[in-house]
Amino acid sequence: MPRRADIDTAFRKAIRRDHRNRRTVTTRDFLESLREYNWEWTPDQANHYIRSLLCFGDRTAEEGTEYRTYELFSPYAGY
């Protein structure tokens, strides 16, 4: 049975560091991580959750896609 606290854990697990040591998370990685904890979300739900975190900004290159890329813009956010 999925637990609410698993959403935060799945999100932290989905965060990656790129070649410049920036922390990024993609909708696709977050959804895969959620599935490991028995949560089935749509890309819209995942994007809404990530946008609700004020320390992540959208860095997607192309418009109109439901699979977005977000970047941490506050290094003191604790992620």
pLDDT in tens, 7-48: 999 999 999 998 888 899 999 999 999 999 999 999 999 999
pLDDT of residue 75: 61
Which pairs count as long-range contacts for 59-63, CB under 8 Å and 24+ apart, including other chains? 59/24
**pLDDT greater than 70 at residue 79:** no
pLDDT at residue 1 greater than cutoff 70: no
Whole-number pLDDT of residue 61: 84
Rounded to an integer, what distance in angstroms lies between the CA atom of residue 64 and that of residue 67?
A: 9
Residue 38: CB atoms within 10 A of its CB come to 10
